[in-house]
Amino acid sequence: MRTRMNRWLAGVITAVATVAVIAACGGEDPTPTPRPEPTATPTPEAMMEKEDPTPTPEAMMEKDDPTPTPVPADSGSTAPAPAPTATPVPQPTATPTPPPGFNAADYFSGKTVRIVANSSPGGGTDTQGRVMSAFMSKYIPGNPRVVFTNQPNKPLEYIYSATEAPKDGTYISWNSTPQLAFGFQESTQFIKRSTFEPLGSTIDPTRGWMLYDPVGNLGASAAESCLWDYSGQSSTGGGAHGEFILADELSDIREGNPTMLATVYASEQLDIPFDYLGFTTVDTNAVRLMWARGDINSTVRSSLWYRFPVENPDWIPSGLMRLMAGMGPGTLRGNAQTEPHCGDVRDHLNADQIHIFNSLIGPTNYASKALWLPPGTPEHIADALSAAFEEALTTDAELIQKYAGVAGEEPGWIGRAELKAATKENEDLFEGSKAVVDEQAARLLPKYFPQHVGN
pLDDT digits (tens, 9 = 90+) for 298-326: 999 887 888 888 889 999 999 999 999 99
Burial of 367 (0-12, 13-18, 19+ CB in 10 A): buried
pLDDT at 88 over 50: no
Report helix, strand or coil for 126: helix
Question: DSSP for 248-304?
Answer: EEHHHHHHT-HHHHHHHHHHHHHT--EEEEEES--SHHHHHHHHHHTS-SEEEESSH
Average pLDDT over the chain, rounded to whole? 81
Q: Which residue has the higher pLDDT, 52 or 191?
A: 191
Interval 169-195 mean pLDDT: 94
- The confidence score (pLDDT) of residue 454 equals 59
Sign of CA dihedral 73, 85, 275, 445: positive
Q: Would you place residue 97 in the very low, low, confident or very high pLDDT band (cuts 50, 70, 90)?
A: low
- The confidence score (pLDDT) of residue 98 equals 62
- The confidence score (pLDDT) of residue 306 equals 86
CA atoms of 304 and 407, how far apart (whole Å): 8
Of the CATH numbers 3.40.50, 2.60.40, 3.40.190, 3.30.70, which one belongs to the domain with range 208-363+435-453?
3.40.190
208-363+435-453 and 54-204+367-433 share a CATH fold: yes
* Each residue's pLDDT tens digit, 259-276: 999 999 999 999 999 999
Lowest mean pLDDT among 48-62, 121-135, 156-170, 440-454: 48-62
Q: Would you place residue 90 in the very low, low, confident or very high pLDDT band (cuts 50, 70, 90)?
A: very low
Q: Which residue has the higher pLDDT, 334 or 9?
A: 334
CA atoms of 158 and 178, how far apart (whole Å): 11
CA atoms of 211 and 201, how far apart (whole Å): 27
Domain spans of the chain, in order of start: 54-204+367-433, 208-363+435-453
- The confidence score (pLDDT) of residue 254 equals 87
pLDDT at 20 over 50: no
Architecture of domain 54-204+367-433: 3-Layer(aba) Sandwich (3.40)
